[in-house]
Amino acid sequence: MTKISRRNVLKGGAAFAAGTTLGAPMIWAQNIKDVTLRQFGTGVSNLNDVANKVKEDLGFTLEMTALDSDSVTQRAATQPGSFDIADIEYWICKKVWPTGNLQAMDTSKIKNYDKIVGIFRNGKLTPDSTIAQGTAPHTVGFVEGPDGKGFVDNESGWMTLIPTIYNADTLGIRPDLIGRPISNWSELLNPEFKGKASILDISSIGIMDMAMVVESMGEYKYPDKGNMTREEIDLTMAIFTEAKKNGQFRAFWKSFDESVNLMASGEVVIQSMWSPAITAVKSKGVPCVYQPLEEGYRSWGGGIGLSAALTGLERDAAYEYINWYLDGWVGGYLMRQGYYSAVPETSKNYMSENEWGYWFEGKEATDVITSPTGDALAQAGEVRDGGSFEDRMGAVACWNAVMDENQYMVRKWNEFIAA
């Protein structure tokens, strides 16, 4: 790790002076190569390929640490000195921002800011879309100024996280083992799939999937799924505890790999799942569908935040990294895994026409679609589950969220697991 020593800052300053006198557009100097930025986050975007490409394109070193959502939240909240860049989800940001461990970012330094999709700016994908329940990214995306503590509801020019990756999640199914169309969240608790269903054991996300199911069953309509009252939590848990006792669930999963194994082995035929897990099952040659459902998707978004302690050359490098991130290479890489990039139009430059058509526009593939590791995911003529970007992100019913009654919910969740 490179400490921000006085010498480094002085060198940075000197480089900056040299850069400006020579009329160079950036502060780029030899010593940027000495910079090491420590990034940590959930596994989805902490990819070694990204770190390698950063070294190649920008010259500095990015150290990646991948953790699960709970650990990420903890670390961002309690160990501000342990990271320079936090790659976190928006609901985590809502929990972590009040601790003051992150600093707001100046959007005027973000080259592609104007091209970032509306979801992260004013909350609207298109001017007439409605904003879904839960912790919608734009509600925790801006603060009033560089030292802002509270979130504001307009594009203030100071962002908490620069959005990088997001998706619309739904249930994954094994079409070959189910053999009939699935179109509602309520199917998760359908007795037909007794002993063959699963839900994820990560409370903050699992509770949202539960809420989608409860609403779909017609048991209850939540005023806000993303912020339940104690009574609503009890009611939701009661329905799922009963299902658990009746043997509805085969297992619960906590890690990505577990969800892949459950599905690929046929232990489970319907479960909460993440997009790349579907990709992983398919690349084993096992049919698996990320089933679009009538009630809509449960969506999530992640972004990059800067540690409050980051200053000087390191901070400049971090801004450079963010600009590079939104410039398209990473976007293309992520979109080939089924995620979306915050600035889709730049990613297009890094994808083939066939890939762009399949992943983003929901068109029929004109040729084989392969995963980043080279496995065939779709043949010519197939279309993406759920269709185009607008179809999928336009049908978001709720965002991953953190509730006011979070601690109560977590306790109830533990009871559910122990029941």
Partner 1 sequence: MLKNNTLVGWLMAGPIMAVLLFFLVLPIVMIVVVSFWRATEFSIIPAFVWENYEFLFGSNVTYRVFFNTFKYAAITWAFTLTIGFTVAYFLAFHVRTLTWQIVLFLLCTIPFWTSNIIRMISWIPFLGRNGIANSTLISWGVIDEPLDWLLFSDFAVILAFVHLYTLFMVVPIFNTMMRIDKSLIEAARDAGASGAQILWNVIIPLTKPGIMIGTIFVVTLVMGDFITVRFMSGSQSANVGRLISNDIALLAYPSASATAVVLLLTVLIVIGILLRFVDIRKEL
Cα–Cα distance list, 159 to 57, 324, 400 (Å): 25, 17, 19
The rounded radius of gyration (Å) of the Cα atoms in the chain is: 22
276: nearest Cα among 341, 188, 336: 336
CB of 214 to partner 1, least distance (A): 20
Rounded CA separation 301/18 (Å): 39
Q: Is the Cβ of residue 103 or residue 248 nearer to partner 1 in the bound state?
A: 248
Rounded CA separation 255/71 (Å): 13
Residues 177-236 that bind partner 1 (CB under 8 A): 195, 198, 201
Residues 61-90 that bind partner 1 (CB under 8 A): 68, 70-71, 73-74, 77-78
- Given 113, 185, 252, 274, the residue binding partner 1 (CB under 8 A): 252
CB of 405 to partner 1, least distance (A): 12
β-strand 369-370 against 376-378: which pairing, if any? antiparallel
- Given 244, 298, 336, 348, the residue binding partner 1 (CB under 8 A): 244
Q: Is the Cβ of residue 373 or residue 407 nearer to partner 1 in the bound state?
A: 407
Cα–Cα distance list, 414 to 211, 244, 253, 398 (Å): 17, 13, 14, 23
Segment holding 257, helix H or strand E: helix 256-264
SS in 3 state form for 362-376? CCCCCCCEECCCCCE
Rounded CA separation 175/262 (Å): 15
- Given 14, 18, 380, 417, the residue binding partner 1 (CB under 8 A): 417
Question: Per CB under 8 A, which region of 221-229, 242-250, 275-283, 363-371 contacts partner 1?
Answer: 242-250
Question: Per CB under 8 A, which region of 3-11, 32-40, 149-157, 264-272 contacts partner 1?
Answer: 264-272
Residues 99-118 that bind partner 1 (CB under 8 A): 99
397: exposed, middle or buried (C-beta count within 10 Å: 0-12, 13-18, 19+)? Answer: buried
Output the six-digit token pair for 95. Answer: 């929990």
Binding mask 377-416 for partner 1 (x = CB under 8 A): -----------------------------xx--xx--xx-
Q: Is the Cβ of residue 51 or residue 77 nearer to partner 1 in the bound state?
A: 77
| Interaction site with partner 1 (CB under 8 A) | 68, 70-71, 73-74, 77-78, 95, 99, 195, 198, 201, 244, 249-254, 261, 265-267, 406-407, 410-411, 414-415, 417-419
